[in-house]
Amino acid sequence: MNLIDRFLQYVKFDTQSDELTNMTPSTPGQMIFARHLEAELRELGLTEITLDENGYLMATLPANITDREVPTVGFIAHLDTSPDMSGRHVNPRIVKNYDGGNIVLNKEDNVVLSPEEFPELLHYVGQDLIVTDGKTLLGADDKAGVAEIISAVDYLKNHPEIKHGKIRIAFNPDEEIGQGAHKFDVDLFGADWAYTMDGGEIGELEFENFNAAVAKVTFKGRNVHPGYAKHKMVNSMRIANQFVIMLPRWETPEHTEEYEGFYHLVGMEGTVEKTVLTYIIRDHDRDRFERRKKEFEHLARKINHEFPDCCTLEIKDQYYNMREKIEPVMHIIDIAEEAMRQEGVTPKVVPIRGGTDGAQLSFKGLPCPNIFAGGLNFHGRYEFVPIQSMEKAEMVIVRIAEIVGKS
């Protein structure tokens, strides 16, 4: 089975994750997919195959270098797709030799993938694009990565003239809900470093991501009949609104880019008696990140000065910028860049305006930058992936194994 056949088969599995189940994996479809992959890896003749009760699948392509020690390198992708849109009954199709015009995904619902709205399409004129039918997401995030990793180790197994050390691969659940690395057994994986194949367009190489926290701000009010409320009522919703407008207006996702951080209000639920605001706090710079959390504490104190004992604040760190763990081992970035150049791909080192399993794994002791898998417009009906980008990603994995084998 080749790379594209694998991918088209994999996207048929419904593996949406669900943050409300409090289980690992969070949905049964992920384990069904993991078991399918486990059987495929056994057919390919890989060794040290393990699939635990939480849906973490690992396997080994043994080294074909026996006369010296070679570092063990790993490649990781996630099993789940985003909860943002249905991943059930995915019906992909291939647009061959894309001509630069509109692609009608669904005529009945008038869903059109247009370069006017998605100008990045024009980067792929003349290439073959895998698109959706306009009713679901595609699942290239991250089934493209899964297919690329398995196809790469299959390629290496069938080309013994390419000398390499031990290669470890892993597929984990629940990345899309931020739980992918939580139960990942780094010691069992046993790699010196790894790469997640979970980036976007061709050439992306990422070793910086946001520092991240979630803040829950609760406001306590007092309800009194509005006809007799003067000097008695305390409306928690109005106080919560006061808190919202005290934060910098322009430091929000819709006004920031690149290395700029933000405060993002993601949830608001309230009555006169009680209102809860949920924020995510993001910044690439650790000092600015800490100052952003301090700003929340400062504003909570100001609210409580005006309305005693009204406001309570809970802040929980989620993950940190992996850069501080990658900088001491920058040779792993150099290797990835060289592998891309050997395949005619120009590396694009960009910061991740989000998180990645690699960030959490880096802080668990497994340095783990992120490499492109090729897809674009993730998490929605306009998602697509150029076949040629997937093929390059597969061969970048092969070249990394080869370069490490020569080290």
As annotated, the active-site residues are: 80, 175
- Bridge partners of 131, per DSSP, are 93, 384
Please report the DSSP string for 306-332 in residue order: HSTT-EEEEEEEEE--THHHHGGGTHH
Closest residue by Cα to residue 170 from 9, 187, 65: 187
Rg (CA), the chain: 24
**Please, are residues 239 and 275 in contact by the beta-carbon 8 Å criterion?**
yes
Between CA 380 and CA 240 the distance in angstroms is 32
Tell me the CA distances in angstroms from 101 to 104, 122, 125, 207, one per residue in order. Answer: 10, 9, 9, 34
Tokens 């070793």 correspond to what residue?
207
> How many other C-beta atoms are found inside a 10 Å radius of the C-beta of residue 316?
9
- Give the integer Cα–Cα distance in Å for 336 and 401: 10
Q: Which two tokens stand for residue 318?
A: 């989620």
Helices (H) and strands (E) counted in the chain, each on its own, are 10, 17
319 forms beta bridges with: 212
Please give the sequence-ordered ranges of beta strands (E in DSSP) within 1-133, or none if there are none: 47-51, 57-61, 73-78, 93-95, 103-106, 111-113, 129-131
Which bin fits 213, alpha (ψ -120 to 50), beta or left (φ > 0)?
beta
The first and second tokens of residue 4, run together, are 């594209």
Contacts of 277 (CB under 8 A, 6+ apart): 216, 217, 218, 219, 240, 243, 244, 265, 267, 268
In the three-class reduction of DSSP (H, G, I as helix; E, B as strand; rest coil), residue 274 is classed as strand
Sheet holding 167-172, edge to edge: 47-51, 57-61, 167-172, 73-78, 193-199, 370-372, 204-206, 348-349
